[in-house]
Amino acid sequence: MLRLFANAQYDFISVRRWAYGITALFIIPGLIWLVVHGLNYSIEFTGGTLVQVQSKVPADVAALRAGLDRHGLHGAEIQGFGAPNEFVVRARVAKAGTDANDTQATADAVQQALTADLGAGNFTILRTEAVGPKVGGELRTKAFLAIFLSFFAVLAYLAYRFEWRFGLAAVIATAHDIVATIAFIGMLRLEVSLTVVAAVLSMVGYSLNDTIIIFDRVRENLRKHKKESFAQILNRSVNETLPRSVLTHGTTLSSLIALILFGGEVIRPFAWVMFFGVFTGTFSSIYIASPVLMEIEKRWPGELARGHLAPKPATQAAAGGERKTAPVG
């Protein structure tokens, strides 16, 4: 039979400091970039108007922008979108002198400017999205709530199924994934739309999935291999689940590559975020979730982990302080 990474015995845990360094090297510049440039929110969140146009005649971007300006739409963005004859017009600011929450005026103004510039009948409007700032604000709140609440729901579930130590470690790993993904989104200048938020949440689910499978193995091995140290148990668990990880990530990445290549322009940001999520999720399950679990267990040992926390003399000292923190779970 074909087996990849069968009986792998990599020492993942001992090189964890290197892994911390690598992730810091990615996240810190990413976050600095974010603070400087900010996230590129889609009009769903900022409010504004987006019109996707297919044009029969080549669009003169400068002239079109000037035309939009004449119609009271200042600072509109014009961007190619997938096919060479398609572009999107994004107006984040409502038409001058109109109520921004009444999206009609701006959408009409874009259409008028297009007609004036390209000529009536020379273009087709493929898609219009017009969102008032009020609705945009609501969507922003909802997206934030969705991420925030699902975070706690998962924490609660893990605390229930495993114990709080595992849950905390998994959530810290997830937090790392979210931060890394946001840094990735910032650096790629991907537009943060609701679909991208959905991708971030799916990525969170996927990464948690990975962490849970390793933790499930850790729990099993803690019972099975009483003599091994906690680091050994972690290494063993990661190694044992390695073939599964490689295969599942492989099939998931195949699906995502198909989506990136063939899925169309609208879905591409979603696929990119998930694509990145597979890597950061795998990384964090091994290098964040597992070491963090070890640190937590060292400080507040759980019942299962107690026997595995070497060295022996230290356990005596630790045992004194331990009684105060009654074992939970």
Partner 1 sequence: MSSSIRNRLLVIGLLIGGSIYFLFPRTVTLRVRGADGIMHDDTVTRVPLKRGLDLQGGMHLALELDQSKQVSADPKKDLDLALTVLRKRIDEFGVEEPVVQKAGDNRIVVELAGITDPARAKSIVQRSAFLEFRITDKTGALEKALPAMDRTLRGLGVKGDTGAGAGKPSAVEQLLGGDSAKPNAAKPGAPKAGAAPAGKSAKPAADSAAADTTPVPGGVLSGLIQAAGSAEGGGIPGEYAVPETAFPRVDSLLNIPQVARQLPRGLVLRWAAAPTSIGVQSFRYLYVLDDRPIVTGSNLEDANAQLDPLTNGSIVTFQLDRAGGRKFGEETGRHVGDFMAILLDGRVQGRPPVIQSRIGRNGQITLGNKSLQEAQDLALTLKAGALPIPLKIVEERQVGASLGSDSIRDGITAGIVGTAMVVLIMLVYYRMSGALAVAALALYLLFTLGGLSMINATLTLPGLAGIVLSVGIAVDANVLIFERIREELVHGKTVRLAVDEGFKHAMNAIVDSNVSTVLTALFLFQFGTGPVKGFAVTLIMGIIASMVTAIFVTRTFFMIWLQRRPAMSTLSI
User: How far apart are the C-alpha atoms of 149 and 99, rounded to whole Å?
Assistant: 33
Which of 261, 311, 316, 320 touches partner 1 by CB under 8 A?
A: 261
Residue 245: strand pairing partners: none
User: How are beta strands 48-55 and 123-131 bridged, if at all?
Assistant: antiparallel
Q: The tokens of 161 are what?
A: 């199924």
Which of 129, 236, 300, 307 touches partner 1 by CB under 8 A?
A: 129
DSSP conformational letter for 83: E
Which of 172, 236, 243, 279 touches partner 1 by CB under 8 A?
A: 243
CB of 291 to partner 1, least distance (A): 21
Q: The tokens of 328 are what?
A: 């939970």
For residue 165, the surrounding DSSP H or E stretch is helix 164-188
CB of 34 to partner 1, least distance (A): 23
Binding to partner 1 by residue 97, rule CB under 8 A? yes
Binding to partner 1 by residue 263, rule CB under 8 A? yes
Which of 14, 79, 124, 325 touches partner 1 by CB under 8 A?
A: 124
> Which residues ranging from 273 to 292 are in contact with partner 1 (CB under 8 A)?
274
Long-range contacts of 5-9 (CB under 8 A, 24+ apart): 5/239, 5/242, 5/243, 5/246, 6/243, 7/239, 8/239, 8/242, 8/243, 9/235, 9/239
CB of 206 to partner 1, least distance (A): 7
Binding to partner 1 by residue 240, rule CB under 8 A? yes
User: How far apart are the C-alpha atoms of 274 and 251, rounded to whole Å?
Assistant: 13
Binding span for partner 1 by CB under 8 A among 23-31, 132-140, 180-188, 285-293: 132-140
Contact between residue 110 and residue 51 where contact means Cβ atoms under 8 Å apart: yes
Which of 8, 31, 259, 318 touches partner 1 by CB under 8 A?
A: 259
Angle subtended at Cα 236 by Cα 248 and Cα 310, rounded to the nearest 5 degrees: 145
Task: For partner 1, give the closer residue by CB, 23 or 221.
Answer: 221
Which of 32, 57, 247, 319 touches partner 1 by CB under 8 A?
A: 247
User: How far apart are the C-alpha atoms of 232 and 226, rounded to whole Å?
Assistant: 11
Over the window 38 to 77, marking each residue x when it contacts partner 1 by CB under 8 A and - when it does not, the resulting string is ------x-------x-------------------------
Task: For partner 1, give the closer residue by CB, 6 or 22.
Answer: 6
> Which residues ranging from 162 to 221 are in contact with partner 1 (CB under 8 A)?
194-195, 197-198, 201-202, 204-206, 208-210, 212-213, 216-217, 220
Which of 17, 74, 127, 224 touches partner 1 by CB under 8 A?
A: 127
Which of 15, 28, 61, 153 touches partner 1 by CB under 8 A?
A: 153
Q: What share of the chain is helix, strand, coil (3-state, %, to 5)?
A: 65, 10, 25
SS3 of 7, please?
A: coil
Which of 255, 298, 325, 329 touches partner 1 by CB under 8 A?
A: 255
CB of 198 to partner 1, least distance (A): 5
Number of residues that bind partner 1 (CB under 8 A): 83
Nearest 10 degrees: Cα torsion 131, 134, 136, 137: 180
